[in-house]
């Protein structure tokens, strides 16, 4: 698999990978803190749990937004080269997947924030 | 809808046919001869995807019937109050076996089996890239599955419910061997599922029709690709879980025993990390089938191809997350419930997309009401209803006890039968003409559908009410005064209606299904995809080049040209079986893969592997070990004939394309398989590290527990050094083995030999270090976790060892040189993986307790 192709695959899956990262971080931190009864701990006046959820969500959301912009750009370029059907297909699917991931990341972030962490 | 795409990657508008007529004399005969199936008793050594695929489907269907019979017995028992057909204990075994067999021996194998048959045909590949591996997977499943099922006749079946929660399944509450049968039997069958998944991934990525670029891949191939990746990610969790529970039962290592620092919740984590995606693992291939059948029945292209691809990939990813989400938002005890309800609610968006795409396709064409169409309509109806009850289960304000009622049984059967069994029957009716002289009967098909559809609803619709008025699941009988009798009787009648439907189907099969390839009923539905090309054991005479997703509709005369040998590789270049390997994105021809033919090795290897596991269950340790050794021996015997090297110069496959008959490195198909295998291994290891961390979490202040000393850092450092040194030697050997002229430098076996000593030394040092601190694996979960990590690593080092010796043997036999070096590459990749895993293990086992300082 050439470097260009690897890049395309990564771009195609970027949003879902970002979501997986968000998930692992939120889940890992929350379950550790809840498991040990440290859920109320604070850092600089913020609860660690909500702070983790918010920052993980914002960072992965931003990364996915960048991925969306990138895939739109590369799709425009591919559209100019009619011979590149595989590329056009991949960039189009990349837009769809990353777009959906934006919603999913937000959805998970908000529900994690609203639901009681250690219930 | 997208306009049909024309070939971009090949730059032609109407492709020139690559090979002229007339074809040389004897070309076709040579092809047929190479692919001829063995006769007589050796017939079972056949490895063709068509033969193995058909046996595989047949066996899976057999398990559907067997598990169905168990269901009928249960329903007969429950038909009237205070029934005494079966005892309490037998009933427990019945529902456990029914659930287990349906989920593990029917649902997953059935969809995998169908793809062994269909994928190569749909992609116009001559075979799957590793036919012997699929044969092995099949035989392992066949033998292991039948013996596992046989336990029901001896009262030895597992009885702990299909998800086998400890502590109920620990030695304390289940001292008998029933639970071991589940653990070893199912653990083993999962391995066979993984072998199949590796095959599918490499098959979809690398063996396709020329020009079948990603955007022209049949939706079914996409679905199977996602399915296989999900197996590779999800199944290691259950394999590890069964391994840990079996180690606890066999050696008293307390992973799940709370008094000694274990936690039964760990099992539930591992189980559901696999179990939640399992529903989609079953469901996605079924949707892939539907996406192939609907366009044919509507006689128009599938609408929303890209959206469907999006839906498949997104479902694959997201289904893994739902598990955790439910776990930490609602707590674990409710998992088993949210499992099935989430299966229908959370998949809503991607499933919704697919449903809309099918409806749009139906609307844009004209749907013929054939038997496959009926089953698809039934599927949409039942599955949607299951989704709705799923939402109800999730929202209904009754408590957990009420949840664990017949309402849940009803709901899960709506989802599973609607989502998987109906599409599978649609597929049977749809694809039968590919493999049979006659199509199945449309008239009987309507009866099958009618009986199954009505029976399904008669059985399970009342169960919603039975559940709501309080009947719990998994009870073997109920008293008269509960008022559950009428509804139960109706359910039982419904169950026998389903059985009648299946019986009619069997009758139809017996009357009309006659297996044949050359002489099949053919494209009776006027479908558009390549499995409907004229075929034989070699699949298609020549390998077509396609310009759209509906080649049979868009390329006039395709069938005839393919059959005349006017496309690529119309004969055999090497005189043996071969497949054309294409590039993963654009499907350009890359090389000719020399495919191994029939042989006893995979069959024997599978039988011995099964014997190893099964004898272990009944504690015949010595015989079991002998079988294990024999199994490894058979695998080596089988591998010995592979990696043939460039037996001839590059061959012209037509159209001026000349490809080599052997390549090594990242383009090679077994390189890809090795990478997938490494992902599987990495997942097992990750789950183990997760278990370690989980046990740390539940043991505050006891990690390590009082009185346990962490070894001096000098020893792990030594071990790490040895690991790294061995990897360096392998890298040096790899450099020595480079070059276009066929050299086999003497230093290579010596380097491998020394590296073997180093890598074994590394593992030995670590084991010895732990042993030296008097750490006991059975005193506390800490010791159990540490020894589990050490043992897994030793297993990998042992495997590396065997591979290393094997590689040296190849060199000595003159079967390894700088050109013919796939064997070496495989060993090298595995070696690097083992070293990486070993280093990580050292870091965790020795670093983590230091880092946390015992908190
Ligand atoms: C074809 C007709 C079928 C009938 C009549 C049927 C009937 C039953 C019955 C009576 C039970 C036991 C309920 C209890 O006592 O709690 C059950 C449980 C179950 N069934 Fe089925 N079933 C059928 C098909 C299937 C299929 C196709 C699948 C999966 C692909 C399946 C998966 C399960 C599972 C997972 C359980 C739960 C087992 C447990 O509680 O451990 N069933 N079914």
Q: How far is Cα B292 from Cα B826, in angstroms, rounded to an integer?
A: 36
Q: How far is Cα A94 from Cα B119, in angstroms, rounded to an integer?
A: 25
Q: How far is Cα B363 from Cα B303, in angstroms, rounded to an integer?
A: 10
Q: How far is Cα B696 from Cα B698, in angstroms, rounded to an integer?
A: 6
Element (H, E) at B320: helix B305-330
Q: In whole numbers, what is the pLDDT of chain A averaged over residues? A: 87
Residues in Cβ contact with B17 at an 8 Å cutoff, skipping those fewer than 6 apart: B561, B566, B567, B655
Q: How far is Cα B757 from Cα B44, in angstroms, rounded to an integer?
A: 41
Q: How far is Cα B134 from Cα B198, in angstroms, rounded to an integer?
A: 10
- Statement: residue B325 has pLDDT above 70: no
Place of tokens 């000393």: B709
Q: How confident is the model at residue B328 (pLDDT cuts 50, 70, 90)?
A: very low
- Statement: residue B840 has pLDDT above 60: yes
Q: What is the pLDDT of residues A42-71, one digit of tens each?
A: 877 788 888 998 999 999 999 999 999 999
What is the reported pLDDT for B161?
Answer: 80
Residues in Cβ contact with B665 at an 8 Å cutoff, skipping those fewer than 6 apart: B671, B825
Average pLDDT over residues B284-293: 96
Share above pLDDT 70 across residues of chain B, in percent, rounded to a whole number: 93
**From chain B, which residues contact A within 8 Å (Cβ)?**
5, 8-9, 11, 213-215, 306-307, 309-310, 313-314, 317-318, 320-321, 324-325, 328-331, 349, 584-586, 666, 697-698, 700
Task: Give the Å distances, CA to CA, from B574 to B568, B593, B673.
Answer: 15, 10, 23
- In chain A, the residue whose alpha carbon lies closest to the alpha carbon of B308 is A93
Q: How far is Cα B153 from Cα B515, in angstroms, rounded to an integer?
A: 33
Ligand 1 centroid from CA B74, angstroms: 9
Tokens encoding B312? 């498949």
Q: In whole numbers, what is the pLDDT of chain B averaged over residues? A: 90
Task: Give the Å distances, CA to CA, from B437 to B53, B433, B440, B767.
Answer: 17, 7, 10, 61
Average pLDDT over residues B375-385: 92
Residues in Cβ contact with B764 at an 8 Å cutoff, skipping those fewer than 6 apart: none
The shortest C-alpha distance from B625 to chain A (Å) reads 40
Tokens encoding B294? 């609907």
Average pLDDT over residues A15-34: 86
- What are the two backbone dihedrals, phi and then psi, of residue B111, each rounded to the nearest 5 degrees? -70, -35
The reply to whether ligand 1 has any atom less than 6 angstroms from the CB of B60 is no
Q: How far is Cα B430 from Cα B426, in angstroms, rounded to an integer?
A: 6
What is the reported pLDDT for B354?
Answer: 92
Ligand 1 centroid from CA B99, angstroms: 6
Q: Tell the residue nearest (CA) to atom 6 of ligand 1.
A: B71
- Statement: residue B415 has pLDDT above 70: yes
Q: Which residues of B touch A35 (CB under 8 A)?
A: 697-698
Is the omega angle on the peptide bond into residue B8 within 30 degrees of 0, that is, cis? no
Contact B340, B275 (CB under 8 A): no
Q: How far is Cα B453 from Cα B449, in angstroms, rounded to an integer?
A: 6
Q: How far is Cα B166 from Cα B260, in angstroms, rounded to an integer?
A: 14
Q: How far is Cα B170 from Cα B167, in angstroms, rounded to an integer?
A: 5
Ligand 1 centroid from CA B475, angstroms: 13
- For β-strands B578-582 and B589-594, DSSP reports them as antiparallel
Task: Give the Å distances, CA to CA, from B195 to B60, B130, B266, B686.
Answer: 16, 10, 26, 19
**Cβ distance of A16 and B328 shorter than 8 Å:** no
What is the reported pLDDT for A119?
Answer: 55
Q: Within a 10 A sphere around the Cβ of B113, how many other Cβ atoms?
A: 25
Is B657 in a helix, a strand, or coil? strand
What is the reported pLDDT for B399?
Answer: 43
Q: How far is Cα B98 from Cα B83, in angstroms, rounded to an integer?
A: 19
- In chain A, the residue whose alpha carbon lies closest to the alpha carbon of B547 is A85
C-alpha B155 chain-centroid distance:
29
Is the omega angle on the peptide bond into residue B22 within 30 degrees of 0, that is, cis? yes
Domains of chain B (ranges plus CATH)? 17-46+533-596 (no CATH), 47-512 (1.20.210.10), 675-851 (1.20.120.80)
What is the reported pLDDT for A110?
Answer: 81
What does the H/E/C string look like for B661-720?
Answer: CCCCHHHCHHHHHHHHHHHHHHHHHHHHHHHHHHHHHCCCCCCCCCCCCCCCCHHHHHHH
- Statement: residue B9 has pLDDT above 50: no
What is the reported pLDDT for B280?
Answer: 87
Average pLDDT over residues A86-110: 90
Contact B711, B771 (CB under 8 A): no
Closest by CA to B840, choosing from B792, B772, B770, is B792
Share above pLDDT 90 across residues of chain B, in percent, rounded to a whole number: 73
Q: Which residues of B touch A93 (CB under 8 A)?
A: 306, 309-310, 313
Q: Tell the residue nearest (CA) to atom 7 of ligand 1.
A: B71
Task: Choose the weakest-confidence range: A77-81, B28-32, B581-585, B827-831.
Answer: A77-81
Q: How far is Cα A83 from Cα B5, in angstroms, rounded to an integer?
A: 10
- Using a CB–CB cutoff of 8 Å, tell me whether A6 touches chain B: no
Q: How far is Cα B53 from Cα B650, in angstroms, rounded to an integer?
A: 31
What is the reported pLDDT for B760?
Answer: 97
The reply to whether ligand 1 has any atom less than 6 angstroms from the CB of B493 is no
Tokens encoding A116? 């009681």
- Statement: residue B2 has pLDDT above 60: no
Query: ∠ CA B100-B106-B107 to the nearest 5 degrees?
Result: 95
Q: How far is Cα B577 from Cα B396, in angstroms, rounded to an integer?
A: 59
Contact B414, B383 (CB under 8 A): yes
Q: What is the pLDDT of residues B658-691, one digit of tens each?
A: 999 999 999 999 999 999 999 999 999 999 999 9
Q: How many residues does chain B have?
A: 855
- Statement: residue B332 has pLDDT above 50: no
Place of tokens 């191994």: B596
What is the reported pLDDT for B164?
Answer: 80
Q: What is the pLDDT of residues B86-130, one digit of tens each?
A: 999 999 999 999 999 999 999 999 999 999 999 999 999 999 999
> For helices B264-298 and B108-122, what crossing angle results, to 10°?
40
Share above pLDDT 90 across residues of chain A, in percent, rounded to a whole number: 45
- Statement: residue B15 has pLDDT above 80: no
Most confident of B13-27, B267-281, B531-545: B531-545
Nearest to B213 among A34, A85, A100 (CB): A85
- Statement: residue B326 has pLDDT above 60: no
Tokens encoding A54? 């918010």
Q: Tell the residue nearest (CA) to atom 12 of ligand 1.
A: B95
- β-bridge mates for residue B593, sequence order: B579
Q: How far is Cα B835 from Cα B27, in angstroms, rounded to an integer?
A: 49
């Amino acid at each position: 698999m050439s470097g260009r192709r690897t890049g395309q695959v990564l771009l195609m899956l970027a949003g879902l990978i970002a979501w997986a990262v968000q998930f692992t971080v939120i889940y890992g931190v929350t379950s550790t803190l809840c498991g040990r009864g440290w859920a109320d701990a604070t850092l600089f006046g913020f609860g660690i749990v909500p702070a983790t959820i918010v920052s993980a969500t914002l960072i992965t959301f931003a990364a996915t937004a960048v991925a969306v912009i990138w895939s739109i750009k590369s799709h425009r370029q591919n559209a100019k080269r009619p011979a590149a059907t595989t590329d056009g297909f991949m960039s189009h699917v990349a837009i769809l997947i990353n777009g959906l991931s934006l919603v999913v990341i937000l959805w998970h972030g908000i529900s994690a924030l609203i639901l009681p962490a250690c219930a | 809808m997208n306009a049909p795409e024309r070939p971009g990657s090949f730059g032609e508008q109407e492709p020139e046919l690559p090979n002229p007529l007339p074809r040389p004399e004897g070309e076709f005969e040579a092809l047929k001869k190479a692919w001829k199936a063995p006769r007589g008793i050796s017939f079972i050594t056949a490895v063709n995807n068509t033969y193995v695929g058909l046996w595989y489907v047949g066996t899976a269907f057999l398990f559907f019937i067997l598990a169905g019979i168990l269901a009928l017995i249960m329903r007969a028992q429950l038909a009237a109050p205070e029934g005494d057909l079966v005892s309490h204990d037998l009933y427990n075994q019945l529902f456990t076996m029914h659930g287990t067999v349906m989920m593990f021996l029917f649902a997953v194998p059935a969809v995998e089996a169908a793809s062994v048959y269909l994928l190569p045909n749909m992609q116009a590949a001559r075979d799957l890239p590793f036919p012997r591996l699929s044969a092995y997977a099949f035989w392992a499943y066949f033998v292991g599955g039948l013996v596992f099922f046989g336990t029901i006749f001896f009262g030895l079946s597992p009885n702990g419910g299909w998800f086998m929660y400890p502590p109920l399944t620990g030695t304390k509450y289940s001292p008998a061997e029933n639970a071991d049968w589940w653990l070893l039997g199912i653990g083993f069958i999962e391995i066979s599922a993984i072998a199949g998944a590796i095959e599918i991934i490499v098959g979809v990525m690398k063996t396709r029709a020329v020009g079948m670029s990603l955007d022209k891949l049949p939706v079914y191939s996409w679905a199977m690709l996602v399915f296989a990746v999900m197996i590779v990610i999800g199944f290691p969790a259950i394999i590890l879980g069964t391994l840990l529970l079996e180690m606890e039962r066999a050696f008293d290592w307390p992973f799940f025993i709370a008094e000694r620092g274990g936690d039964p919740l760990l099992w539930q984590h591992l189980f559901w990390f696999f179990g939640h995606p399992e529903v989609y693992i079953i469901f996605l291939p079924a949707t892939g089938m539907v996406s192939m059948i609907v366009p044919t029945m509507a006689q128009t292209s599938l609408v929303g191809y890209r959206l469907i691809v999006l839906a498949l990939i997104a479902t694959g990813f997201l289904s893994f997350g739902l598990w955790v989400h439910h776990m930490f938002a609602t707590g674990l005890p409710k998992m088993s419930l949210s499992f099935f309800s989430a299966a229908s609610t959370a998949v809503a968006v991607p499933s919704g997309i697919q449903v809309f795409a099918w409806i749009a396709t139906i609307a844009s064409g004209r749907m013929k009401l054939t038997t496959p169409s009926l089953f698809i309509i039934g599927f949409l109806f039942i599955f949607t209803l299951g989704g709705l009850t799923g939402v109800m289960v999730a929202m209904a304000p009754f408590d957990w006890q009420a949840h664990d009622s017949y309402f849940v049984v009803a709901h899960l059967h709506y989802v599973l039968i609607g989502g998987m069994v109906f599409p599978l029957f649609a597929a049977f009716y749809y694809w039968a003409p590919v493999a049979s002289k006659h199509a199945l009967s449309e008239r009987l098909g309507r009866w099958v559908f009618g009986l199954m559809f009505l029976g399904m609803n008669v059985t399970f619709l009342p169960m919603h009410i039975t559940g709501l008025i309080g009947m719990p699941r998994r009870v073997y009988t109920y008293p008269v005064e509960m008022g559950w009798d009428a509804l139960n009787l109706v359910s039982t009648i419904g169950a026998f209606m389903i059985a009648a439907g299946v019986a009619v189907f069997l009758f139809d099969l017996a009357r009309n299904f006659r297996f044949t390839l050359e002489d099949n009923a053919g494209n009776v539905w006027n479908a558009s995809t390549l499995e409907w090309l004229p075929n034989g054991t070699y699949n298609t005479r020549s390998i077509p080049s396609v310009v759209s997703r509906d080649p049979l509709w868009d390329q006039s005369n395709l069938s005839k040209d393919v059959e005349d040998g006017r496309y690529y590789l119309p004969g055999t270049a090497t005189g043996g079986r071969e497949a054309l390997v294409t590039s993963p994105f654009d499907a350009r021809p890359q090389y000719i893969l020399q495919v191994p033919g029939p042989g006893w090795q995979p069959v024997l290897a599978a039988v011995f592997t099964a014997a190893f596991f099964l004898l272990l269950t009944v504690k015949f340790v010595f015989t079991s070990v002998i079988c294990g050794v024999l199994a490894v021996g058979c695998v080596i015997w089988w591998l010995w004939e592979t990696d043939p090297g460039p037996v001839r110069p590059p061959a012209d496959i037509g159209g001026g394309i000349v490809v080599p008959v052997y390549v090594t490195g990242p383009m090679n198909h077994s390189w890809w398989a090795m990478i997938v295998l490494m992902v599987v291994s990495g997942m097992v290891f990750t789950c183990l590290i997760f278990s370690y961390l989980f046990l740390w979490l539940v043991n505050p202040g006891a990690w390590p527990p009082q009185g346990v000393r962490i070894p001096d850092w000098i020893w792990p450092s030594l071990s790490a050094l040895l690991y790294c040194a061995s990897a360096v030697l392998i890298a040096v050997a790899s450099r020595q083995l480079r070059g276009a002229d066929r050299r086999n430098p003497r230093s290579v076996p010596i380097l491998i030999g020394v590296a073997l000593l180093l890598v074994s030394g590394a593992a030995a040092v670590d084991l010895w270090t732990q042993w030296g601190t008097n750490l006991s694996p059975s005193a506390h979960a800490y010791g159990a976790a540490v020894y589990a990590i050490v043992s897994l690593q030793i297993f990998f080092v042992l495997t590396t060892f065997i591979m290393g010796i094997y590689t040296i043997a190849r060199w000595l036999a003159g079967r390894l040189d700088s050109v013919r070096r796939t064997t070496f590459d495989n060993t090298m990749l595995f070696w690097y993986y083992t070293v990486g895993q070993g280093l990580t293990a050292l870091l965790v086992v020795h670093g983590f307790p230091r880092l946390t300082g015992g908190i």
